[in-house]
């Protein structure tokens, strides 16, 4: 398995464990995962809007210690329709194998267009072997809004974070060039105010409409937005300015067409910033989770302790342990 497929999607790393993320089109060319041998146990979740389905699969063979069931090795497989690529449109129309009429009414008609395999890609992400924790993560869950005061953070959230063994070794592997070194778009190596800019696994890098990169700071110990003070302004300004400059240089997209933001709660507790195309409705860019980096910088310029004082709102799924802590404290 190559270094470039070891990092899970940001959204899929919220439990702090590393799974195996494999992006392959079609079949068992994915190293280490026998897709054709997998049986589908159930559909965990599906999204007609995003053209994505989350599957609980099982591969025959030795039962893993952490297997969620007793018949083989569990896996989570995410199938996602890839976006159209402008340069392939002409080929797509010329090479269709079948155009089947579904309905016609005056000047309007609908068809099913059947394409050859090379033009009908499905991005496939695999978490394997998967534990019950992974299966629960992808299962459709109720979501609750939490309004976390500064006291709630000190008394509930921070102790919870400190009590958990969230592994972010994969982050350190990237920063130390032990993994994904070939994917680095830009680096400022300064240990205090530097960062690495790298494509997020959600982006297949085949088109710019869904551009998605992550800037990971070199400085360790900054867990989230709550830790930021005016001391970190040089780092944040570097990430904002140099990140945009690197993207316009590499991809030709100016900063005015980028959405640059932090998550709270983050999916892993090492400071990182998201860079997405403004036209892309990226997962996690909603108001209850995303904080624009420009706003964060402005707030810290006004008050160094801004994020130690203010109430922050975020969403938690019903199965998340932090929600249980909030409920026990009477905050939900």
What CATH number should be reported for the domain whose range is 83-120? 3.30.200.40
pLDDT in tens, 46-92: 888 788 999 999 998 765 544 555 578 899 999 998 888 777 788 88
Question: Distance between CA atoms of 251 and 33, rounded to whole angstroms?
Answer: 32
CATH code 3.60.20.10 for 141-328: no
Q: Enumerate the CATH 3.30.428.10 domain ranges in the chain, comma separated.
A: 141-328
Question: Distance between CA atoms of 268 and 278, rounded to whole angstroms?
Answer: 23
> Is 272 annotated in the active site?
yes
Question: Distance between CA atoms of 140 and 132, rounded to whole angstroms?
Answer: 14
pLDDT in tens, 191-242: 999 999 999 988 889 889 899 999 999 999 999 999 999 999 999 999 999 9
* Percent of the chain with pLDDT strictly greater than 70: 87
Domain 1-81+122-140 is of which CATH architecture? 2-Layer Sandwich (3.30)
| Cβ within 8 Å of residue 280, ≥6 positions away | 209, 210, 211, 212, 259
Which phi-psi region, left, alpha or beta, contains residue 331 (left: φ > 0; alpha: ψ -120 to 50)? alpha
Contact at 8 Å (CB) between 211 and 39?
no
Q: Enumerate the CATH 3.30.200.40 domain ranges in the chain, comma separated.
A: 83-120
Least confident of 9-23, 91-105, 315-329: 9-23
Cα torsion at 82, 84, 90, 93 (round to 10°)?
70
pTM over 0.75: no
Contact at 8 Å (CB) between 137 and 319?
yes
pLDDT in tens, 88-129: 788 888 776 788 899 999 998 998 888 887 778 888 889 888
Q: Comparing 149 with 33, which gets the higher pLDDT?
A: 149
3-class secondary-structure state, position 263? strand
Catalytic-role residue among 56, 232, 270, 272: 272
């Amino acid at each position: 398995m190559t270094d470039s497929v070891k990092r899970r999607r940001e959204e899929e790393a919220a439990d702090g464990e590393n799974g195996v993320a494999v992006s392959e089109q079609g079949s068992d060319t994915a190293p280490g995962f026998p897709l054709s041998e997998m049986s589908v146990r159930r559909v965990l979740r599906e999204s007609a809007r995003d053209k994505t389905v989350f599957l609980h699969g099982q591969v025959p063979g030795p039962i893993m210690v952490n297997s969620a069931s007793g018949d083989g090795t569990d896996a989570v497989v995410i199938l996602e329709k890839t976006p159209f690529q402008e340069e392939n449109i002409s080929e797509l129309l010329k090479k269709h194998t079948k155009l089947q009429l579904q309905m016609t009414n005056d000047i309007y008609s609908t068809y099913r267009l059947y394409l050859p395999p090379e033009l009908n890609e499905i991005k496939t992400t695999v978490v394997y072997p998967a534990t019950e924790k992974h299966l629960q993560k992808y299962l459709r869950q109720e979501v609750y809004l939490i309004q976390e005061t500064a006291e709630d953070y000190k008394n509930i959230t921070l102790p919870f974070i400190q009590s958990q063994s969230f592994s972010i070794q994969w982050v350190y592997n990237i920063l130390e060039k032990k993994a994904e070194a070939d994917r680095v778009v830009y680096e400022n190596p300064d240990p205090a105010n530097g960062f690495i800019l790298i494509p997020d696994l959600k982006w297949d890098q085949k088109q710019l409409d869904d551009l998605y990169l992550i800037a990971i700071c070199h400085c360790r110990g900054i867990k989230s937005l709550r830790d930021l003070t005016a001391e970190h302004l040089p780092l944040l300004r570097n990430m904002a300015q140099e990140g945009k400059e690197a993207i316009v240089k590499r991809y030709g997209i100016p900063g005015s067409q980028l959405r640059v933001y932090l998550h709270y709660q983050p999916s892993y507790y090492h400071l990182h910033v998201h860079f997405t195309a403004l036209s892309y409705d990226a997962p996690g860019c909603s108001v209850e989770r995303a904080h624009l980096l420009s706003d964060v910088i402005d707030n810290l310029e006004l008050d160094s302790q801004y994020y130690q004082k203010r109430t922050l709102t975020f969403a938690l799924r019903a199965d998340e342990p932090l929600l249980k802590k909030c409920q026990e404290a009477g905050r939900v």
